[in-house]
Amino acid sequence: MSGQPPQGSWTGPDTTVAREAALGDERIEKPSSPTGRGRGWLRVDLRSVASSLVVPVLSVVTALIIGGFVIVLSDPDFWAMLQSDPIGAIVKGLQDVIASYQALLTGSIGSPTEMISALASGDPKEITAAFQPISETLLSATPLIFTGLAVAVGFRAGLFNIGAEGQLYIGAIFAVYVGFSFTGLPMFIHLPLAIAAGILGGAIWGFVPGILKAKTGAHEVIVTIMMNYISYQVVMLVLKTEGFQRPGRDDPISQNVLPSATLPPLIDGLRVHWGFILALVAAAVVSWLLFRSTTGFEFRAVGLNPGAARYAGMNISRTIVLAMVISGGLAGLAGTVEMLGTSGKLTPGFSPGYGFDAIAIALIGGSRPSGVVAAAILFGALRAGATPMQAATGTPIDLVVVIQALVIMFVAAPALVRAIWRIKSGRATGTEVFSKGWGA
């Protein structure tokens, strides 16, 4: 903890003073700015945003540069060429790096000229082709936004939810079951029902560690990790269960979600679906919840100083349980949109670790919903661009994992980034660990 809460905010059970101070700005430890109040919860303080962006952006840049070295140094041709023609090897290495990143970029964003010419031509086929890269990026980002929000909510309440992965799987089970088993319903009933089921599934899986922590003090890190393992086995179990497993197949694969419970694509021919819009809505709701609602205030107060929060008359147990339920529900939504939008069926291991990437995303995004959305889109772009990069240059897809890991490392060590780029440490940028330590 770098910043102290403003003195006086915590002096008595009257929470309104502290609450006003907290709502005046996004973070509780900063004094409220005079213009900050009453201008709506989406108010942006540009200077604060810019300074809080420095470390994440430079982390990404540093990670990409080191990733470049990895591309060159992991290429056996480079080492072979280094003996005979060192300069040529370095030049070729540099070209490889540039080609790889170019493919990564065009594969994740696309080419603006192509988009414009496609729009001008009006040919729907060309338009889908031009917008496919960005569609793929947003598609990959969608589950990450949900899981990132889930972990961020936990962080704000001082809880380290490592269980987003498990909550995602349970949410997926619930959503896919409602999605294929409830026949004959119109879409406007069936789809919301399936989504609600997914939220419920994740929320249940979040409730268990929440209540265990609140009632027995069991540490949520340990409980959520263990519940991840249980969730994997539950997935295997249901996929082997008659009525869930696809008829006529021995493989662990579920029945297909019915069209009436499917999240339709945003644009026909592209894979990005309404789940992305749902993710943005969820981010807005979480933003409101955390920074404009009493509940959110309690989350953050408990997260920063449970003792003070208790003294201020807040119900710590209730807050912990509620935060874990909301966190779990959000993670459950990640599994839900994967089932109802992207894949249409449940298979074991469908998540490549969305719940774990989420920890990094919440960290990079400073546990702010807007930051989470941005970080998730960055990770989505890396994932979407990896395929064209691999196809064009043969750079292994694992490079993306390396880059992601480096970004996380640098974001977690802001002092390192500042040292590399020789930036003086100003005030705190809000990327400190929000969770309490062990046994908090």
Partner 1 sequence: MRIPKFLVGIASVAVIVAACSSGASPTPAPTEAPTAAPTAAPTAAPTEAPTAAPTEAPSPTAAPKAFKACQVSDTGGIDDKGFNANAWQGMQNAATELGIEVKFLESKAETDYERNLQQFIDENCDIIVTVGFLLGDATAKFANANPLTEFAIVDYAYDPKIQNVAGLVFQTDEAAMMAGYLAAAMSKSGKIGTFGGINIPPVTIFMNGLAAGINYYNKANGTSVELLGWDPTAADGKGDGTFTGDFSDKDKGKQVTLSFIQEGADVIVPVAGPVGLGAAAAVQENKDNGVMLIGVDTDQFVSAPEYGDVTLTSILKRIDNAVTAAIKASYDNTFMGGVYNNTLSNEGVGLAPFHDFESAVSADVKAALDDLKAKIISGEVKVSDYLSAK
Query: Which stretches of the chain bind partner 1, using CB under 8 A?
Result: 54, 58, 61, 64-65, 74-77, 92, 95-96, 98-99, 101-103, 105, 132, 136, 139-140, 232-233, 236, 240, 248-253, 271, 338, 342-345, 347-352, 383-384, 386-388, 390-394, 396-397, 400-401, 421-424, 426
Residue 34 DSSP one-character state: T
Identify which of residues 111 and 294 has a Cβ nearer to partner 1 in the complex.
111
Of 13, 26, 59, give the one whose Cα is nearest residue 417: 59
Report in angstroms how near the CB of residue 1 gets to partner 1 at its nearest. Answer: 23
Whole-number Å distance between alpha carbons of 345 and 179: 9
Say if residues 131 and 138 touch (Cβ distance below 8 Å). Answer: no
Identify which of residues 145 and 302 has a Cβ nearer to partner 1 in the complex.
145
Across the chain, which distance is largest between two alpha carbons, in Å? 76
Report in angstroms how near the CB of residue 420 gets to partner 1 at its nearest. Answer: 9
Could you tell me the two tokens for 344?
A: 């249409």
Report in angstroms how near the CB of residue 309 gets to partner 1 at its nearest. Answer: 35
Identify which of residues 80 and 433 has a Cβ nearer to partner 1 in the complex.
80
Say if residues 327 and 166 touch (Cβ distance below 8 Å). Answer: no
Identify which of residues 104 and 214 has a Cβ nearer to partner 1 in the complex.
104
- Side-chain-side CA neighbours of 384 within 13 Å: the count stands at 27
Sequence-separated (6 or more) residues with CB below 8 Å from residue 246: 253, 254, 255, 256, 345
Identify which of residues 58 and 212 has a Cβ nearer to partner 1 in the complex.
58
Instruction: Round to the nearest angstrom and report the end-to-end CA distance of the chain.
Output: 14
Amino acid identity at 226: M
Report in angstroms how near the CB of residue 370 gets to partner 1 at its nearest. Answer: 21
The neighbour count for residue 195, using CB atoms within 10 Å, is 25
Report in angstroms how near the CB of residue 205 gets to partner 1 at its nearest. Answer: 19
Identify which of residues 122 and 248 has a Cβ nearer to partner 1 in the complex.
248
* Paired residues of 240 in beta bridges: none
Report in angstroms how near the CB of residue 223 gets to partner 1 at its nearest. Answer: 19
Strand, coil or helix: 383: helix
